[in-house]
């Protein structure tokens, strides 16, 4: 059986790359680690930009990572239709690279929030959510201080009209994000950014394993479209 091939991008300050490696091994994947100074990807089915604190979050979360050697290759890959997922700090990097609209700013409380969170699946027709049911409520942890998703009104209306909101916070909004947004996809449908950490809720030993649906979705999508 063909395995889904992941390229996992590592920046100085990335700290969730090993979690991604572990989960990829659990769900029919194989991976190549791509250092931020590299200039080329290695024939991936999907690129993952994991969470952490790239470049110590200096200047602005994700801003310095956007100027890394590897970013032009990721942008070219995404613009050609390749699958890219950014988780937490990875989401921030994708907005800085303009692969996703909007920006992530400091939580409304101005405090770091780390907790399990109920997440609602709004759009289950994407490569990253097709293993879920529409409107399914899943339990996925969050851990961030800059998770307030903000976008101007015109852009917000476009997200709604184009069904680009994939995940929302349910029951409570931990950071003040507009419309409780927890994850969005680009207009082409191949680039996802999400603040919750699905890799931290992907096996039974953890409090939740519903995060596995993200990786199962990717594997299902790649098989159907390869």
Q: Which residues are catalytic?
A: 88, 197, 199
Encoded tokens for 216: 């199962």
CB 189 within 8 A of CB 8: no
Axis crossing angle, helix 17-26 with helix 212-225, rounded to the nearest 10: 60
Polymer length of the chain: 226
3-state DSSP helix/strand/coil % of the chain, to nearest 5: 30, 25, 45
Measured CA to CA, the distance from residue 167 to residue 180 in angstroms comes to 9
């Amino acid at each position: 059986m063909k395995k889904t091939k992941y390229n996992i991008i590592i920046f100085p300050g990335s700290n969730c790359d090993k979690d991604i490696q572990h989960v990829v091994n659990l769900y029919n994947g194989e991976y190549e680690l791509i250092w931020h100074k590299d200039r080329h990807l290695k024939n991936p089915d999907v690129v993952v930009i994991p969470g952490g604190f790239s470049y110590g979050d200096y200047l602005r979360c994700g801003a310095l990572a956007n100027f890394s050697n590897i970013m032009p290759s990721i942008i070219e890959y995404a613009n050609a239709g390749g699958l890219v997922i950014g988780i937490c700090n990875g989401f921030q990097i994708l907005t800085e690279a303009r692969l996703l609209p909007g920006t992530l700013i400091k939580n409304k409380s101005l405090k770091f929030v780390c907790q399990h969170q109920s997440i609602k699946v709004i759009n289950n027709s994407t490569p990253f959510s097709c293993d879920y049911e529409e409107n399914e409520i899943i339990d996925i942890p969050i851990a961030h201080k800059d998770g307030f998703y903000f976008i101007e009104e015109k852009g917000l209306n476009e997200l709604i009209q184009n069904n680009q909101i994939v995940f929302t916070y349910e029951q409570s909004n931990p950071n003040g994000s507009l419309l409780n947004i927890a994850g969005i996809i680009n207009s082409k449908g191949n680039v996802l950014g999400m603040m919750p950490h699905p890799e931290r809720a992907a096996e039974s030993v953890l409090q939740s394993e519903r995060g596995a649906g993200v990786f199962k979705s990717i594997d299902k999508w790649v098989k159907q479209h390869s």
